[in-house]
Amino acid sequence: GAVVSQHPSWVICKSGTSVKIECRSLDFQATTMFWYRQFPKQSLMLMATSNEGSKATYEQGVEKDKFLINHASLTLSTLTVTSAHPEDSSFYICSAGDRGEQYFGPGTRLTVT
């Protein structure tokens, strides 16, 4: 099946700094990708839809200026957590669709100290 990768797999950053997470579709092109956040022992929460060549659309309650999304090519979407705070510590997961199925990346664990 199709493969979605994420980089890095884990990252530790200090409060106030920004961190970028990459999501790549390795063997297919994706005009749309999705970003989710998952807190420990909780479900995945959809944050935003990343659209290639246009602005991302954010779910209600998600700050677009804090979670910057760039979908510059058909195989890459990036999520930048700006001015990170400890409460942003979470597991961030992306997904991309191919031929009617949705494939998820392995996730990025972000810890903000």
Partner 1 sequence: GESVGLHLPTLSVQEGDNSIINCAYSNSASDYFIWYKQESGKGPQFIIDIRSNMDKRQGQRVTVLLNKTVKHLSLQIAATQPGDSAVYFCAENMNFNKFYFGSGTKLNVKP
Distance between CA atoms of 102 and 96, rounded to whole angstroms?
6
The reply to whether 101 sits near partner 1 by the rule CB under 8 A is yes
CB-side neighbour CA atoms (13 Å) of 20: 7
The reply to whether 46 sits near partner 1 by the rule CB under 8 A is yes
Closest CA to 35 of 14, 66, 1, 2: 66
The reply to whether 58 sits near partner 1 by the rule CB under 8 A is no
Specify the stretch interacting with partner 1 by CB under 8 A; choose among 13-21, 40-48, 64-72, 76-84: 40-48
* Near partner 1 by CB under 8 A: residue from 19, 21, 24, 34: 34
* Near partner 1 by CB under 8 A: residue from 15, 29, 42, 73: 42
- Between residues 87 and 101, which has the closer beta carbon with respect to partner 1? 101
* Near partner 1 by CB under 8 A: residue from 11, 28, 59, 76: 59
Residues in contact with partner 1 by CB under 8 A are: 1, 6, 32, 34, 36, 42-46, 49, 59-60, 93, 95, 97, 101-107, 109
